[in-house]
Structure 1
Amino acid sequence: MSSVLTLSNTGQLCPASLPCPTPVNYVQRPHPVQHRSVMSSVLTLSNTGQLCPASLPCPTPVNYVQRPHPVQHRSVMSSVLTLSNTGQLCPASSPCPTPVSYVQRPHPVQHRSVMSSVLTLSNTAGSGRTSWSSGGKRPDVVGSVILHDKADLWKSSSGSVHYHHGLQAGHNTLNVLCSLRVARTLVRGGFADVSTADARGAVLSNYVHFLTTPGSHKDTYAESFHRSFFADWQDVRPTAPTQVLTFAEKRSRLKLSSTFPDGQLDAIGCIPMILPFILLSASANEDQAVSAAVDFVKLTHPHPKVPEYVSIYSRALHAVVGGASVRQQSEHALRTLGVWDTCQGYAHKAARFPVSSDERLRVHQSAVSYLGLACYTKGALCSMFYLAHEFHDDPEGGILTNTNCGGENCNRGAALGALLGAGASYAGVSIPQRWKDQLRDAQEFVPDIIKDLQL
């Protein structure tokens, strides 16, 4: 299981031998930066716009290449398939200087990233953006039901608070923490069949306890499906497994039958929490594994399109866990999604350029931009399966490329990391130890999960 996460460095990085300069405010210019950002295998974040001081125009963007000199920096990592960029980023036309060690100073970096620029527009009372809300005013869930000490960050007048403001290097984002808790709950519960209602009830009860307990995590952001769930939950506030399950099933039936489904629930963020259901169904038949994932996701993402997409992904991952080819499963999924011919065109174009070249990366970026750069499930899955097909035997290259493609590379990266990680175990490809070092949440969860599995 890949342990999904993202994070950005929320402090200013300065050479240890020098004081930090006074921070400046940044605005986002239209020129894209082709950069190799900090990333994780499952949930990662990359800034796809150029950041420039607000008082100055943006220079002409330059392409970056990775030099062999290591940069001592605070990178993003995930607990199973993770990765940090261990090479120094330098303009392609210039040599890398001698690297220096970095320390974190207390001055914050005031920047406007692609994701942070809309945090303060997010609806604190439910899913979507504040301006998209309809109907009567509902009580806020952010600050009162979930994210208890984060409401001020969502309502900041500066508009420059990063989505994952509270995280440090090695922390997981909320979606991955939820995924890890799902795995631990299912394993500790001793469920021989995780597709049962009892398994779903236990997971949902743990989920409610986790998100409604003040100080239970450090992430600043909860995406739409969390806010929507607790906007409805706060009216009745069930906590016991059978009670939460009854509430969630009733809510799911209403939303799935709605004439106007909530489009914010049709998002690739549906993948992280279903990963343990698939992975713990490895010895079950395909239909049972798919049922375990689909029946659960209907409770967290009750949108009529989501079960179909989760079924496509679940069948692919279950097959790869059982030894099937990542490449063949990705092709099958892309054909099912109706984009195989388009992907072949991009693949043939990319093959004209050397592996790991900037030219090939730009082709992959174009492919992801065309297939689906945003969070909506179908487009994000098309992009994910394209990358899985192209990097079926190169998990490191696939994870790096996913991050450098930008957009919703966090949850898309979770889905990709799980596929490539499962395939790597059969291909004899090891996950570099440097990707696993200094992980925080993984050190708490993964050993316990593995130990309980062996009992």
Structure 2
Amino acid sequence: MATVSPFTIGIRSSSRPFNRRAYGHRTLVTYSILSFLLLASSSLLSPLPIPSTAMTSSPSLHLESRLRGALWGLFSGDALAAPTHWYYGGYRQVKADYGPSGITDYVKPAEFLAGSILNKSNVNGGGRGSFDRANGVSIIGDVINHGKRGYWHPSKSYHYHATLQRGENTLEAQIARVLMRSVTSTGGTFDADHFRKAYVDFMTTPGSHNDTYASTCHRMFFANMIFKKLPPEKCPDNDRHNVDTIDGLVLPTVTILAMGGRIARGEDPVKVREEARVMAERTAGVTRNSSALERASGTWSDLLLDILAADEGADAQQSLNKAARSFGLRRMPVPNGRDEMSACYLDGSLPTLLDMISKYSRKGDAWTGLLANANVGGENVHRGAVLGAALGASVGEENLGPQEMLGGLYEREKLAEEIDAFVRAVTRIENDL
């Protein structure tokens, strides 16, 4: 097994004092002097066994827990917030649809949503636009999001995720799973071509997911493929309004976590960070054409790797402040402010994301932070996914929160299998132990 200094990757040794109850004086005095002499004279006396609690845990195992925590946090943050996605009426609107306590657990999204702009969105491209088919084809319904076109009808007012079940993940998180499976298939590394093919296959396969909504970048990608006959690598696009957005950080998060696995394997953290930044940017570029998002992905990579490698219970404020400066934000993250709603655009969503990481990582409570995000409304689904990854990485799988955080996810068993396979692939821990 490769030797990794705990200092190198910021992991605290788990060596603990001897277990006095099992091996201390109260046990030893039960041996009589005679018994001791008999044992000694017969050369049968051997050193006491070292209790398991005294063994130093492998840094790979410690980081493995954080990787798992980050992935569970991503899926939990996404699914918890799906019912209140784009609730710009805030907590008052949340309570009106889901009861006086708001969101307290996973819940199925409402069928209808007053003020929904799904009915104004372009089914054949970015932003708002026509509901008409183009040359007999509708991107939404015929090419992707099969069977969901009726929910986008101009005369209707459906919730963006009306077709999801309780605890079911939205499309972007489902694509994150596609990326996880791609990374697993390629031996724990990100391969843009492999992922691109898997993405196209997933999106164009009927029944591959159950979400109603697809972001502008996906609609534009497949419009370019179908109407302009572009090859997949030329299909990422940008409407200069709805693409430079926080949902674009979800996929790079998976690649960053994969790179974190290389730190667990003992690779040079400085080189891993440099490469992770590049890989995160390339991941963002598979589905959208956004230089702003690529830059943000690089900064997000630095921050998430800092959180993964931090000592247990360490304050992330210094790393968060560094990220804020790199993002070009006007203020530093606030650890004790109110939880703020934001839209999808990076200049508004990034400050509130950093605020919530600062606040809830200090509390060591991922579940409470994700519930708060769900109850704020606004563009909270994709913020919830990346927030969940950061909070999950900070506490590890075993400290995520109550049982329902994992148990309430709609596809919990499949997620567990995919997370296990991903973590094994990126850490290669089975080959080292």
Give the counterpart of 1:381 among 328, 338, 350.
350
Aligned partner of 1:45 in structure 2 is 84
Q: Distance in 1 between matches of 2:92 and 2:283?
A: 43
User: Is contact 1:184–1:449 with CA below 8 Å preserved after alignment?
Assistant: no
Aligned partner of 1:263 in structure 2 is 241
Aligned partner of 2:213 in structure 1 is 221
Measured at CA, do residues 45 and 123 of structure 1 come closer, stay the same or move farther in structure 2, by a change above 3 Å? same
Aligned partner of 2:388 in structure 1 is 417
Q: Distance in 2 between matches of 1:189 and 1:270?
A: 22
Identify, as 1 or 2, the structure richer in helix. 2
Q: Describe how 1:400-415 pairs up with structure 2 within 5 A.
A: 400-415=371-386
What is the aligned length? 336
Gaps (5+ residues) in structure 1?
A: 7-37, 54-59, 78-108, 239-243, 351-362
Asked if 1:319 is matched to 2:290, the reply is no
Aligned partner of 1:125 in structure 2 is 124
Partner secondary structure for residue 436 of structure 1:
helix
Q: Distance in 1 between matches of 2:415 and 2:71?
A: 12
Q: Describe how 1:330-341 pairs up with structure 2 within 5 A.
A: 330-339=320-329, 341=331
Q: Distance in 2 between matches of 1:402 and 1:288?
A: 31
Larger radius of gyration: 2
Identify, as 1 or 2, the structure richer in strand. 1
CA shift for structure 1 position 41: 5.8
Q: Distance in 2 between matches of 1:390 and 1:52?
A: 23
Aligned partner of 1:88 in structure 2 is none
Asked if 1:161 is matched to 2:201, the reply is no
What do residues 164-210 of structure 1 show as CA deviations (whole Å, max 9, x unaligned)? 1111112111110110111012112214x42xxxx111111111111
Q: Which AA in structure 1 matches 2:194?
A: A
Measured at CA, do residues 288 and 404 of structure 1 come closer, stay the same or move farther in structure 2, by a change above 3 Å? same
Q: Distance in 2 between matches of 1:204 and 1:416?
A: 25
Q: Which AA in structure 1 matches 2:247?
A: G
Give the counterpart of 1:292 among 262, 265, 279.
279
User: Is contact 1:5–1:40 with CA below 8 Å preserved after alignment?
Assistant: yes
Measured at CA, do residues 113 and 227 of structure 1 come closer, stay the same or move farther in structure 2, by a change above 3 Å? same
Q: Distance in 2 between matches of 1:138 and 1:411?
A: 32
Q: Distance in 2 between matches of 1:453 and 1:110?
A: 36
Aligned partner of 2:138 in structure 1 is 140
Q: Which AA in structure 1 matches 2:162?
A: H
CA shift for structure 1 position 64: 5.5
CA shift for structure 1 position 43: 5.6
User: Is contact 1:294–1:311 with CA below 8 Å preserved after alignment?
Assistant: yes
Aligned partner of 1:182 in structure 2 is 179
Q: Distance in 2 between matches of 1:126 and 1:413?
A: 26
Q: Distance in 2 between matches of 1:445 and 1:237?
A: 35
Q: Distance in 1 between matches of 2:366 and 2:106?
A: 22
User: Is contact 2:367–2:405 with CA below 8 Å preserved after alignment?
Assistant: no
CA shift for structure 1 position 313: 1.0
The answer to which of 432-441 and 277-286 deviates more is 432-441
Q: TM-score, normalised by structure 2?
A: 0.68
Q: Distance in 1 between matches of 2:249 and 2:395?
A: 20
Q: Distance in 1 between matches of 2:308 and 2:92?
A: 44
Gaps (5+ residues) in structure 2?
A: 1-69, 264-271, 425-429
User: Is contact 1:5–1:410 with CA below 8 Å preserved after alignment?
Assistant: no
Q: Which AA in structure 2 matches 1:304?
A: S
The answer to which of 271-280 and 415-424 deviates more is 271-280
Aligned partner of 2:196 in structure 1 is 204
Q: TM-score, normalised by structure 1?
A: 0.65
CA shift for structure 1 position 322: 1.9
Aligned partner of 2:427 in structure 1 is none
Measured at CA, do residues 424 and 440 of structure 1 come closer, stay the same or move farther in structure 2, by a change above 3 Å? same
CA shift for structure 1 position 52: 11
Partner secondary structure for residue 153 of structure 1:
helix
Q: Which AA in structure 2 matches 1:415?
A: V
Runs of 4+ in 1 over 4 A off after TM superposition: 3-6, 38-44, 50-53, 63-66, 136-139, 235-238
User: Is contact 1:327–1:392 with CA below 8 Å preserved after alignment?
Assistant: no
Q: Distance in 2 between matches of 1:138 and 1:331?
A: 51
User: Is contact 1:125–1:141 with CA below 8 Å preserved after alignment?
Assistant: yes
Partner secondary structure for residue 242 of structure 2:
helix
Aligned partner of 2:42 in structure 1 is none
User: Is contact 1:119–1:163 with CA below 8 Å preserved after alignment?
Assistant: yes
Asked if 1:234 is matched to 2:234, the reply is no
